[in-house]
A and B are shown apart, each in its own frame.
Chain A
C-alpha cells in the first residue's frame, strides 16, 4: 500500500473521544490523505470539523482510534522527527529567550552546543529576528513571537512543516507579511522544508498559500472536497482567478452536508425524535444576528449577499460568519447556498420590526424551529409552579450528545430564550422560570 513518494500517508483514519455516558463521540470519520513533496496543503473546515485533531494525529501528538498514519512509509507512534510544528498560540517558553526557545528542539536532538548556537542564530537571521536573540517572548509583539515559533520549527530542518492556524492570532498586516516571508523562503528553497500542511480558518489565506485545499465537513469530520489552486505565485487577492476559487470554497463550505440545520433545510426525512432534540445550537449571539440581518437589508445587498464580500465588508472572520449564518438558517431567517446568503420573508420582517416586535418574531421562530425551546416551554407551562431545574434538560440532552455539547447547547438556548423573553433563567439556582418578573 505504501507508495514511497509520499511524505505522509493516512488511510481510513478514525478518531473518537469518550463521551459522558453513552457511546463515544466520533471526531474524524474515515479520512484518507497523502502529502507529497513540494506542495502546500491547506485544511479548511468549520469549528468542530476535527481539522486540528487531524493535524495533531499527523504530528504524533494524538493517537488515532483506528487507521494507519505513516510518515515516510513508517508508522507514526509519537512526535515525528523531521516535522516542525507552529502553534496558533505561539507556545513559546516564557522563561527562555528567543535564542533559548529556538535552541530547544536542537537540544533534545543532542546537537553539540557550538553547532546548536550556530544553527539557531542562522534560523533567527533567516526569519528576520536579528538583534532579538536575548529578548524574552513577553518583550516581543505578536508577529515577532510567531517568528520565533517559525524559527524554532525551522531550525531542526524539517521535511514537513505543520502549521496550526499560525496567523490567526495576528493582526491582518502582520499576518500578511509573515505569510509572504514564509512562502518566499519555501519557494526560493532557502529552507529544506519540502511540504507544508496548514490548518486554517481563513479562506483567502488558504487560497493564497496552498496548492490544494481540503474542505472538512463537521460532526463528524470528513474530507468533503478537495480544490486545486493552479494559480501562479505570488497570488493577487483581487485577480478574477483568485476570487473564483474563493467563491468556490465558500460554496463548498456552506453546503457541507451534516448538521441538523442542513438536513432540515433539504427536508431530509428520518430525523428521529431524539435526533431532532439533539440539534446543536450555534454560538450566535442575538446582537450579532440582528446586526447581520440589518446589514443584509442595506442598499448594498438588498436582502442577498455574496459571502466573501459580506465577510470583507463586515470584517468578520469566516468562522464567526458561518456561526451566524448557521444561526440564521436554523431560525429560518435566511437561506445559504452557492456562496450566497439570502434573507427569507421572516428575516426581512425581523429587520423591519421595532424592538418588541423583533423579540416576538424571534420567539416564534425559536419555538417553531428548535424543538428543545418548545420542549422547555411546554414543561414550564405544565408544571404548577412554572419552574424547572436546568439539570432536567441537561440529562435529556446528554442522552443524545456529550456532556460538553449539552452544556453549550443549553447555555446558548438560554441566551436566545432570554432575548425572546420565552422564559427566565436563574444563574444562582440553575432553574428555568416562565415569564421574567423580578419577584425574588
Chain B
C-alpha cells in the first residue's frame, strides 16, 4: 500500500527507459534472489513437527550458526510485520473513535509496563495447543514475545502522530473529497511515517534482546528450544563453552550490521521524504541499498507489478473493505472537530461499563493471587520491587555520570557526531544478554557478590539510549549560544549549569526514561543468570518473576507482574513524566 502511494507521486517517464538494466542490477539481482531463497529455507524449518517434551538439540558447531541466525532474523521480521499491522489498526481505532480511545490507551499503558517474559510464560501453553504437534506453536509464542517488545511503543507513536495531523492538510484533504480511507493512506499515515520509522528502529533494537531470551525458555519444567542464535547461546551457557559464546556474538554483530544496512538505513532515509521541510545536518548521505532499490531496473519491474497488483486489489477487495468500513462509520471523526455527537448519558453509561469491567478483571486477578498466596508474600514482592527500583535508579545515575559528559563532548563536534551516532545506535540494538555469560564467568572467577555485580547487566544494553539522546541534544544546541558563552568568558561550571545542562535536559530525560523502562524489563533476565549448572541470583522482583516462570507458578507470576507494573507506572507518572513535562515546558530551545 505504502509503496504505491510513493509511486503515484512520481512523474511518468517512458517506462521502457526506466526498466532498462543498469549497473545497480548487478548488485540487485543476486541480492534480491538470495533473500528470496533464504526466506524459503527459513520458512521450511518453522513448520517442522514437534511434540512437547521432545528434546531439541542445538549444535555448537559454528558452521550451523548462519542457519540459526536466519531463523532468528525471520522471527524478528515476522514479529515486526505483525507489530506494524497491529499498530495501524490499534492506533487508528484509538485516534478516530473517542469510545475506543478511552479503553485502548489505558490498556496500552499497562501492556507497555508488563515484562516480556510474563507474556511469554502466560501465553506459551495456549500457542502450543493452537498448533499441536508442530514447531509452529513455540515459534508463535516466541514471535508473540518479540511482538510484545515492539508493538506498544510503535502504537503510541502512531497514535500521537495521528492526533497531530496539521489542520490545514486535513482541510485540504476534505476540500478535495479525499475519503476517510484515502485520508488514512494519503495523509495521516505519511504524516506519521518519520516518527513511526524512528520508533520502529528503536523498538527493533529492544527486540533483539528478547529474541535471544525467547528462543530458549522453560515452562513448567519443560525446556523448549527453537533453533536460533538465542538457543545457541543458551546451549553454550549450558555447556560452559565461552568460545561458542564468542561465535554467537560475532554472528549477531554481522546480522545486526546487515539489518541496519539493508533495512533501517534505507527506511530512515526514505522516511525523510515525508517531512515537511529539509532538515539540514541530519542527512548522513544516501544509503547505498536505497539507491539500489530506486535505480535498479529489476526493482522497478517489481514495483510496477506491485502497483498493478495494488490497483487490482484496490478495485476489488479494497473497495469492499472500504464499503464495510464506511458502513461501520470508521474513519469519520479525525478530520472534523472532535466534538462528540453521542448523547451525554451514553458516554456516562459507557464510562461506567468500562469501570465495571476493569473492576472485575482486578477482582479476578486478585482472587487468583489471593487463593494461593499470603498477604505476607505480597508485601515481600513489593519489597523486592523496591530493591529492583533502587538498582534501576542507581544505575541510571551512574550511566548519567559517565555518558552525559562524553555525549556532550561528542555532540558539540559535528564531524564526530555524524560518525558516532550510527555506532551508538548499533550498540543499543546489540543484545546485551549475549555478554551475560562472560560477566557471570567473571563473577564466578573473582567470587564477587552477585547482589552488586549482576546489577550492571541491567543497564548494559539500555545505557546507550542515554548516550545517543545526549549526543542529539548537544548537537542541536545552536552555535550562537556557544559563541555567547565564549564571548562572556564564562567559567566551566557556569557553562555546564547555565548552558549545557538546560540545553540537553529534554533530550536527556527522553533517553533516561527509555533506559529506565528497558532496565526494568532487563531485570528479569539479569537478576537470575546461569552458567552451566551454577545459578547466580540477585534479590529483586526480576529474579522472583523468573523463578515463578521457571516453576510454572502462575499465581506468583501474576503477582510479580502486577507489582512490577505498579512500580513502572508509578515511577513513570510520578517521576519521569513530570520531569519530562517540566523539561518540555521550560527548556525548549525553539521558543527563544
Contact = CB atoms under 8 A, between A and B. Distances in A.
Interface of A: 18, 56, 59, 61-62, 79, 81, 83-85, 87-97, 99-100, 103-105, 107-109, 117, 133-134, 136, 138, 152, 156
Contact of B168 (A84, A89, A134): A89
19 contacts: A79-B174, A79-B175, A79-B176, A81-B177, A85-B172, A87-B171, A91-B172, A93-B187, A94-B273, A94-B275, A95-B5, A95-B274, A99-B11, A100-B9, A104-B178, A108-B176, A117-B12, A152-B176, A156-B176
B277 interface: yes
Nearest to A106: B176
B411 interface: no
Given A95-B190, A117-B12, A61 B175 contact: yes
B186 interface: yes
Interface centre among B9, B12, B168, B179, by most chain A C-beta atoms within 10 angstroms, is: B9
A133 B9 CA distance: 10
Contacts of A79: 174-177
Contacts of B285: none
Contact of B274 (A85, A92, A94, A105): A94
Contact of B174 (A61, A103, A107): A61
B535 interface: no
Contacts, number: 85
Interface in B31-81: none
A84 B175 CA distance: 7
B276 interface: yes
Shortest Cβ-Cβ A-B pairs, 8 listed = A100-B9, A105-B176, A91-B168, A91-B172, A108-B177, A134-B11, A94-B276, A96-B9
Chain A at the B interface: mostly helix, strand, loop or mixed? Answer: loop
A85 B177 CA distance: 12
Contacts of A97: 9-11
A133 to B, nearest CB: 5
Contacts of A62: 337
Given A83-B175, A93-B172, A134-B11, 6 more contacts: A79-B174, A84-B175, A85-B171, A87-B168, A92-B172, A105-B177
B305 interface: no
A183 B526 CA distance: 72
Interface residues of B, number: 32
A58 to B, nearest CB: 11
B8 interface: yes
Interface in B165-198: 166, 168-169, 171-179, 182, 186-187, 190, 193
Contact of B8 (A100, A108, A134, A136): A100
Interface centre among B168, B171, B193, by most chain A C-beta atoms within 10 angstroms, is: B171
Interface in B182-220: 182, 186-187, 190, 193
Nearest to A137: B276
Interface in B267-286: 273-278
B176 A61 contact: no
Contact of B175 (A85, A88, A92, A96): A85
Contact of A95 (B9, B172, B176, B339): B9
A94 B169 CA distance: 10
Given A104-B178, A108-B179, A91 B278 contact: no
A104 B176 contact: yes
B273 A136 contact: yes
A99 B175 contact: no
Interface centre among A62, A89, A133, by most chain B C-beta atoms within 10 angstroms, is: A89
Nearest to B193: A95
A107 to B, nearest CB: 8
Contacts of A104: 173, 176, 178, 186
Contact of B182 (A81, A83, A90, A108): A108
A95 B169 contact: no
A92 B191 CA distance: 12
B307 to A, nearest CB: 11
A91 B171 contact: yes
Given A94-B274, A138-B277, A59 B175 contact: yes
A90 B171 CA distance: 11
B588 to A, nearest CB: 14
A97 B337 CA distance: 28
Nearest to B9: A100
B161 to A, nearest CB: 13
Nearest to B278: A138
Contacts of A92: 172
Nearest to B274: A95
Nearest to B168: A91
Contacts of A136: 273
A93 B171 contact: no
B166 to A, nearest CB: 8
Contacts of B168: 87-91
A94 B182 CA distance: 16
Contacts of A81: 177
B310 to A, nearest CB: 13
A154 to B, nearest CB: 12
Contacts of B187: 93
Contacts of A89: 166, 168
Contacts of A96: 8-9, 186
A107 B178 CA distance: 8
Contacts of A95: 5-6, 9, 190, 193, 273-274
Nearest to B311: A113
Interface in B293-315: none
Interface centre among A83, A91, A99, by most chain B C-beta atoms within 10 angstroms, is: A91
A83 B169 CA distance: 17
Contacts of B11: 97, 99, 133-134
A278 to B, nearest CB: 25
Interface string B143-182: 0000000000000000000000010110111111111001
B313 to A, nearest CB: 16
Contacts of A18: 339
A108 B178 contact: yes
A156 B339 CA distance: 31
Nearest to A139: B278
Contacts of A61: 171, 174-175
Contacts of B171: 56, 61, 85, 87, 91
B28 to A, nearest CB: 23
Contacts of B5: 95
A372 B169 CA distance: 39
Contacts of B9: 95-97, 99-100
A109 B276 contact: no
